[in-house]
Amino acid sequence: MAASPPNPVPVAYQGGAGAVPVWLNKGDNAWQMISATLVGLQSVPGLVILYGSIVKKKWAVNSAFMALYAFAAVVICWVTWAYRMSFGEELLPFWGRAGPALGQKFLIKQAALPKTAHYYSNGELETAEATPWYPMATMVWFQCVFAGITVILLGGSVLGRMNFKAWMMFVPLWLTFSYTVGAFSLWGGGFLFHWGVMDYSGGYVIHLSSGIAGFTTAFWVGPRLKRDRERFPPNNVLLMLAGAGLLWMGWAGFNGGDPYAANIDSSMAVLNTNICAATSLLVWTWLDVIFFNKPSVIGAVQGMITGLVCITPGAGLVQGWAAIAMGVMSGSVPWFSMMILDKRWKLFSSIDDTLGVFHTHAVAGLLGGMLTGLFAEPELCALFLPVTNSRGGVYGGSGGVQLGKQLVGGLFIIGWNLVVTSIICIAIGLLIPLRMPEKELLIGDDAVHGEEAYALWGDGEKYDFTKHEGYSEDTSNLHPNPSIGATQVV
């Protein structure tokens, strides 16, 4: 009788070798992959649904497709060159060296962020290099979905008029020359990371950058048609709420995954995220009722988003009471900038920011970064930050200095995005118009894509007799001059 093979269990399930090396923590790896999936769901389908339903009916397809295309484009650019520019070896104090993240030897080894080792001024090691207990493939994908959602958020500023072909060029250029700089500077081991600027999960890297870049892009692209800008109702409020719900619940992965482990800090981050978002939604709604006598559903969604954005830079660094305080601020300060200043300040009224991304992400992101510098609790900081003895301003000691660091970090992100986004838009504009032609602006989806969101018979779809019962070759009763485009009728 033949002897049994020495290792009857497949390599994938053998501990200590092959697919289960000794450094792999299956719990951390599972949570990180789940977190990445949750963040991915925020974009696809979350923001795809939200964008497709919060805009006017004639822009539903175009808006949703801008989000879908951006996500796909970012994935390919990320693994081809952008990941290492964000988390690889240093090229400049604010930028990593480009390179692919595709090879087996790179992706199956233990995850490591090579420039995150932090040293005291005398050269002694203060905090070791970040080496999570899962493979590089997990880290690459987790960071990829963050990059993807950033570009999609930016796109919210230019819905309803940006040339889709220009958008196809814009996405890889902005990812390469803007996002990677912020990511490396604050997360990947750049100068702001080592200086001790706090950005737990992207208040600056993602939200402040997308808000400023979106506002800048809106300036260069130009406004929507006057009729669109004056009246731009959602085409489906219930679907808008579904997209918003995916965004909110997906934020558990957004903030809960950033300790790079399934630890107590990730639990704090998830709880604080929901506390702040709920508080902000309530405050925004109360303000709508007090000043406009109507509780707005769109306003509630905006308040939810500003709460999620505001808590992001400090999600795992602040206590629960601070999360409530941040929710009150995030429900009121962006509300004031959007509902009051936006209508009174000429700069805001002259630049057409379709979804108000400047207010919901730039204002809320900078606010969250500053409040993190105020409320960051020392013990929680020690669980996550590379600079020991970090603390917020209310805790005394070096806390006052932290507020200055937060301000400088925010100003760097603002300045870089203003300049680089402008250069990108000008460069693209030399090759192709940034704004759609007037004909496409008048018609919308049907002219741009040849598709409509609600292509029902009699309301968008050309009537094809071969696809319906009662088909007849008799065409004598057909309209002599059938309409085309968005005005198709039977």
From CA 79, how far away is CA 101, in angstroms rounded?
A: 5
Question: From CA 393, how far away is CA 488, in angstroms rounded?
Answer: 62
When pLDDT is cut at 50, 70 and 90, the band that residue 488 belongs to is: very low
Per-residue pLDDT reduced to its tens digit, 37-56: 999 999 999 999 999 999 99
Tally Cβ neighbours within 10 Å of residue 92: 12
Coil, strand or helix: which one is 457? strand
Are the beta carbons of 132 and 196 closer than 8 angstroms? Answer: no
Given a cut of 60, is residue 461 above it in pLDDT?
Answer: no
Residues near 190 by Cβ (< 8 Å), separated by ≥ 6? 90, 93, 94, 95, 115, 184
Average pLDDT over residues 209-221: 97
Q: Per-residue pLDDT tens for 464-482?
A: 444 434 434 444 444 333 4
pLDDT single digits (tens) 293-314: 999 999 999 999 999 999 999 9
Question: For residue 200, which of 45, 465, 384 has the smallest C-alpha distance?
Answer: 384
Residue 153 · residue 206 · CB < 8 Å: yes
Looking at residue 349, its pLDDT comes to 84
| Span 391-445, pLDDT tens digits | 999 998 888 899 999 999 999 999 999 999 999 999 999 999 999 999 999 999 9
In this prediction, residue 344 carries a pLDDT of 86
Cα dihedral 69→160→170→143 (10° resolution): -50
pLDDT above 70 covers what percent of the chain? 89
Here the tokens at position 225 are 């048609």
Mean pLDDT lowest for which of 18-22, 24-28, 319-323, 391-395? 18-22
d(CA 361, CA 247): 14
Quickly tell me which residue has 């400047």 as its tokens: 358
What is the average per-residue pLDDT within 158-186? 97
Domains of the chain, CATH where assigned: 26-112+127-439 (1.10.3430.10), 455-490 (no CATH)
Coil, strand, or helix at residue 93?
coil
Please, are residues 416 and 182 in contact by the beta-carbon 8 Å criterion?
yes
Type of residue found at 208: L
- Over residues 190-206, the mean pLDDT reads 96
Q: Which residues of 66-79 are buried (b: 16+ CB within 10 A; e: fewer)?
A: bbbbbbebbbebbb
Confidence band of 268 (pLDDT split at 50, 70, 90)? very high
